[in-house]
Structure 1
Amino acid sequence: MDRVDVAVIGAGVVGLSVAASVAREGRSLLVMERHESFGQESSSRNSEVIHASIYYPPDSLKGRLCREGNERMYRLCSDHGIPHANTGKLVVAWTEEQAAGLPDLLATARANGARGVRLVEREEIRRLEPRVEALAALHCPTSGVVDSHALMKHFETVARSKGAAFAYGVEAKAIERRDGGFVVRVAEASGEPYEFWTRLLVNCAGLESGRVAALCGIDQDEALYRIHYRKGMYFRAHRKLALYPRMLVYPFPPDRSTVGIHTVPDLAGGMRLGPYDVWSPTIEYGVDASLLDHFVKACRPWLPFLEPEDLQPDMAGIQAKRYGPGEPVRDFVIREESDRGLPGLINLIGIESPGLTASPAIGPYVARMIDEVC
């Protein structure tokens, strides 16, 4: 039976960052991914936003790793030529009630250490973005966008340069605790069974992370590891592109489970609006064209030039949530499972937004955990 020191299940942006941080000379590492290439699910179907850490509780992993990831992201992109843009962001309020809620959002941002976030009034909003209508806004100067594919390719290249091996088209089917490590049984794309032993196992399986934890013997409901699918749909602007803001523009958050439909400028000069979020029982990526009027109604208060003819259905993505409809919002889980009788298992569960932003910080975070275990 083949043996490795560390196995990482999942080659999304988080699994790739972990691999790049954990791989080193003298440590054998295998990354396995059920798809034929990296980043085929949540990591490539999102807004590609670099968040500033303004929404998350200050004592949460989301808040801490988003802020650290924001700083690491810009250094990483600058040092390695990864396409990105520091656009800045406005979180706009167009009613008095929303404007009254901005100071609380500002307090959260400051508690998280988000740099430079401040309140701006109508006059300054017009100077920053003349075609955006709002009473007040939060200005977040460290927000931006990144080429997620280029970021993932960088992480994969770094991991390979340090000796990591990659197995694509391979899905974990069973996991057994044995001989001080784990035996992982997999099915290859050909259907051929295969198994290997690993000293340490890191679950970065994203949408399937709850299922992988269950393969290891963890009760998903007791541990609050069950994943619920939250589908986000986008429409693309195909005309009047010159009118759209250069900055990211977000609405005042409709509720704690979503940041609302916002502008999504891309690095090629295009513009999307989204996501509109719905709970989904399955992984499917269709976009409901009948939502056009909802998109226009949601965005027209602060994009008054928007017309239904400007938009067409674009794409959808799915986030891995640790909570379902009506349940409280839950934090990331990044946890070594010794106290559950599974030493050497590290689970990363519910790494939803701001997972892309946090990814450059999550890799080193997990690497420190592994160094402690080893």
Structure 2
Amino acid sequence: MDRFDVAVVGGGVVGLFTALNLAWSGYSVVVVEEMERVMGGVSARSANVIHVLQTPFSSLKSRLCVEGNRLHYRLSPELGYRVVEAPLILAYRERYKAPAAAAVARLLPRLIPKPLHEPSGPEIRVAHVKGPMLRDLEPGLSDDVLGGVVVHGYGVVDYSGLSSSLEKRVRRLGEILVSSPLTSAEERSGWMVLEAGESTLASRAVVNAAGLKSHLVARLLGDRVPEQTPVRGVMSLHRRPRLRSIVAPLELRRGETKGGGAIPQADGSLLLGPNNAGPTVIGDESYTREDLEWLRLRFQPLLAEAVEEPDRVVVGLRPVAPGRDFLVVRGRGRAVHLVGIESPGLTAAPALAVRVARVVDELLGGRR
């Protein structure tokens, strides 16, 4: 039976960044993934945005979002994946929104959490930009757009490159078991003995990064964590128009903020969304014509060029926990559970990995 310092359950972006960080810290690591490949679950069905803004600004996910943003820009050259700078434009067409946009631009810098790490990548800054200056920044905007709140520091990740580079690094420094769903866990003489697919392995600690199923994995490990609700988001991918920036409408209302954007992808295509199609069940990848029409009507008025028919439609599921914040839960044994890692999980992944490594150090008393 193979033995490891840490077993990471879940081979998504959070699981692989966590495994890599632990390996860099000197731990022997194995990743256990139920699918036939890593980076193929929740992680593969996102909009690939490296965020800056995440409300509420006092939340853990907001702090880790900014930390992760800085870490992506710092780590991407070293690991060999691309982050393409793409500022966020919260655009408006109504004159009455101009004073509010100016106020938002003044307020946001005070609300965005300050990163703890040394500055990396483009400076995070906010400005209210109007008229021709805004179209110089983004020529793809409609002439009806009068101005916008521009947030610099955003980017779009080349997901294929990120997936490949993380898998190669983790395989080089540790082990990855695919097609290996966790079916049982038992503590024996200070070790957690795990049955995963056709493998039996033992680890001194377990990190539960199982995404939509993290609350189920917690039960197998003898712990109870808050239940998660899968929430469906529909995205459409288009060849045209081409944008340089992420464009979304400036909305002056409280409540649900998941409305997505018109998001340029690293390959030059355009993604619209995701929308918030509501709670569902694991495995539901359905969408309706109404979902696609909602996306078109939301973003087309902001764009100069007509949005073509979608080449492809992607349906993502977000694991939403009560309170809609990230939860890093220390189990009764040597387990760490990551719960509710929805958007901006891709952005926050390297920062979550750092946080989890600190907990593992506490559980194991540091590296042997």
TM-score range, shorter-chain basis?
Answer: 0.7 to 0.9
Residue of structure 1 in register with 2:172 after alignment: 161
Matched, 1:124 2:123: no
What SS does structure 1 have at the residue aligned with 2:156?
A: strand
Aligned equivalents of 2:280 and 2:105: distance in 1?
29
Instruction: Give CA deviations for 1:291-323 in whole Å, capped at 9, x if unaligned.
Output: 33322221233225436x544552221111114
What SS does structure 1 have at the residue aligned with 2:356?
A: helix
Contact 1:237 1:272 in 2 (8 A): yes
Question: Which residue identity does 2:229 align to in structure 1?
Answer: H
Displacement of 1:139 after TM fit?
0.9
Displacement of 1:3 after TM fit?
2.8
Residue of structure 2 in register with 1:216 after alignment: 221
Instruction: Give CA deviations for 1:256-311 in whole Å, capped at 9, x if unaligned.
Output: 4333141121222211211122122232323323433322221233225436x544
Cα distance change on mapping 1:198 and 1:80 into 2, 3 Å: closer
Question: Which residue identity does 2:3 align to in structure 1?
Answer: R
Residue of structure 1 in register with 2:13 after alignment: 13
Matched, 1:363 2:342: no
What SS does structure 2 have at the residue aligned with 1:347?
A: strand
Residue of structure 2 in register with 1:249 after alignment: 247
What SS does structure 2 have at the residue aligned with 1:196?
A: strand
Question: Which residue identity does 1:212 align to in structure 2?
Answer: V
Cα distance change on mapping 1:105 and 1:17 into 2, 3 Å: farther
Cα distance change on mapping 1:289 and 1:124 into 2, 3 Å: same
Higher mean C-alpha displacement, 271-280 vs 349-358: 271-280
Matched, 1:226 2:231: no
Question: Which residue identity does 1:277 align to in structure 2?
Answer: N
TM-score, normalised with respect to structure 1: 0.84
Residue of structure 2 in register with 1:272 after alignment: 271
Contact 1:334 1:346 in 2 (8 A): yes
Displacement of 1:228 after TM fit?
1.0
Instruction: Give CA deviations for 1:105-136 in whole Å, capped at 9, x if unaligned.
Output: 76345432382122223443233224424343
Aligned-pair identity in percent equals 31
Cα distance change on mapping 1:349 and 1:108 into 2, 3 Å: farther
Number of aligned positions between the proteins: 350
Instruction: Give CA deviations for 1:52-108 in whole Å, capped at 9, x if unaligned.
Output: 2x2223332211111111111112223343123112121223346765654457634
Residue of structure 2 in register with 1:333 after alignment: 327
Residue of structure 1 in register with 2:121 after alignment: none
Question: Which residue identity does 2:325 align to in structure 1?
Answer: D
Displacement of 1:176 after TM fit?
3.0
Aligned equivalents of 1:248 and 1:120: distance in 2?
15
Residue of structure 2 in register with 1:138 after alignment: 149
Aligned equivalents of 2:299 and 2:27: distance in 1?
51
What SS does structure 2 have at the residue aligned with 1:301?
A: helix
Aligned equivalents of 2:77 and 2:219: distance in 1?
40
Displacement of 1:359 after TM fit?
1.4
Question: Which residue identity does 2:271 align to in structure 1?
Answer: R
Contact 2:79 2:166 in 1 (8 A): no
Contact 1:331 1:350 in 2 (8 A): yes
Residue of structure 2 in register with 1:291 after alignment: 291
Instruction: Give CA deviations for 1:188-245 in whole Å, capped at 9, x if unaligned.
Output: 4xxxxx433321010000111111112223334xxxx21111111122334xx2x543
Contact 2:17 2:353 in 1 (8 A): yes
Question: Which residue identity does 1:234 align to in structure 2?
Answer: M
Displacement of 1:24 after TM fit?
5.0
Higher mean C-alpha displacement, 273-282 vs 23-32: 23-32
Residue of structure 1 in register with 2:114 after alignment: 113
TM-score, normalised with respect to structure 2: 0.86
Aligned equivalents of 1:303 and 1:314: distance in 2?
20
Q: Which runs of 4+ in 1 moved over 6 A?
A: none
Contact 2:182 2:196 in 1 (8 A): yes
Contact 1:41 1:318 in 2 (8 A): no
